[in-house]
Structure 1
Amino acid sequence: MYVDSHCHLNFPDLAARLPEVLANMRVARVTHAVVIGVAMDSYPDVLALAEQNDELFATVGVHPDSEDAFTPSEDELVAYAAHPKVVGVGETGLDYHWCKGDLSWQHERFARHIRAARRAALPLVIHTRESADDTLAIMRSENAGEAGGVMHCFTESWDVARAALDLGFYISFSGIVTFKNAKQIHEVAQKVPLDRLLIETDSPYLAPVPYRGKTNEPAFVAHVAEHIATLRGVSAEAIGEASTENFFRLFAKARRA
């Protein structure tokens, strides 16, 4: 039994074949998935998926990759977060790969999401790319540990993972952990405490081996679990059970379908 803690079922590649995607989840024993909010213009679609399907939940947030994207106020984020099927705040964070120059706007957007999550008492879904030091610094300065959350699609070093763990955060692994050359991520996947580990697809992106290069979907999260199990010398069922319990502990607002 598995939970996909981060996917984008509202994106066209998956939304166009949603009944098939949900059926594939059931066959793969993926019982629940979180549809992640990344922009306010697409948020109604994210929320509708969660409202219409018992096995799906939603988050509300604005991704850090676009300066021009509309960002709700802190009060507005808190109001959106009150919806019964909204279980987290984000995807939020910092991205220095796609964004360059003066990124003060990105820092403020991230801090606003953290403050909203603390007020809403919901966990954060954090994106960090080539920005780990500043991400951790803002998390500390804004007391992100009060909200808790997850470092999604983790690709950083063990030192970064340990710092996030020290702040009370969980570490989530995507299909990248199945890639042969992802040695740094393999190390982290072996070291993260079992009670702080989550799995995800980030679908439709980053399909795991043996589907690498194809459109990803929540059913494939089982392969993420299987690879982590191999790295740790345990069964896939043990990873599935632990990551599922971790999910419902972190996203405490989520209810099992």
Structure 2
Amino acid sequence: MTSIDQAVINEAAERLRTAAEGRVPCAPVRDLLGTEDMEAAYRVQQLLTAWRLNAGSVVTGRKIGLTSSAVQAQLGVDQPDFGFLFGDMDVSGGDVHMVRLLQPKAEAEIAFVLSDDLDDPDLGPADVRAAVAHAAPALEIVDSRVADWDISLTDTVADNASSGLYVLGDARLRLDEFEPRATTMRMYVNDVRVSEGNGAACLGDPLNALLWLARTAHALGEPLRAGQVVLSGALGPMARVAAGDRVHAEISGLGTVSATFTDKDSA
């Protein structure tokens, strides 16, 4: 159990919220939380989530982070994490407006849309597979409120797993039509290949990542629900993006997904 008191949790959450609202990256919060206290980091995340819900946001799913060894190496961490997805994070079908982001990077993923609740303490692989209505190709636009992406595991967990926005491609395939572990991925920025990987790079199988999340969410008292979107975690390294960039990912057997970044006002 964490020994960090609520006042410190509040201070860390307020630092991250101020960075997000003011669009000025902040110092890491590990000076307050340390680098290993996951419980404290998730308490900060929960507080930020509560503030967002109180402001009218709606939870539409979860994102799994740090499932790829390549991304773990990029950030110097060694285990997955998760954050919440909100309705206004879905920017499928339109431009991605840089005004909503601070230090964006893109990564290609598989999105799972659930047909059933995953509310059981004894979930197994067959349970999560059966609960997937369909899969879709996805780009997650990760972001960090921490300056220069200078993050430890507690920094990214507290910061809603460095969430930003996400884009879903048009394909919708059932798991009897598409096997996540067998897929390969290539991602391009402005037609230059910047990342490649495969389903096995995501905890050995993206469905393993979904199982990890389902068990973790249940243990925390907030199980995954039917209709929610779950982003599997990256299939390969993430890449920086800037205004004017077009990102395109090809996920074999599933389809393609693209996004164009613009510095035009989203209003």
Same fold (TM over 0.5): no
**Structure (1 or 2) with the greater strand fraction:** 2
Greater helix proportion: 1
Tell me which structure has the larger Cα radius of gyration: 2
Structure ranking higher on relative contact order (CA contacts 8 Å, 6+ apart): 2
- TM-score range normalised by the length of the shorter chain: under 0.3
- TM-score, normalised to structure 1's length? 0.27
TM-score, normalised by the number of residues in structure 2: 0.26
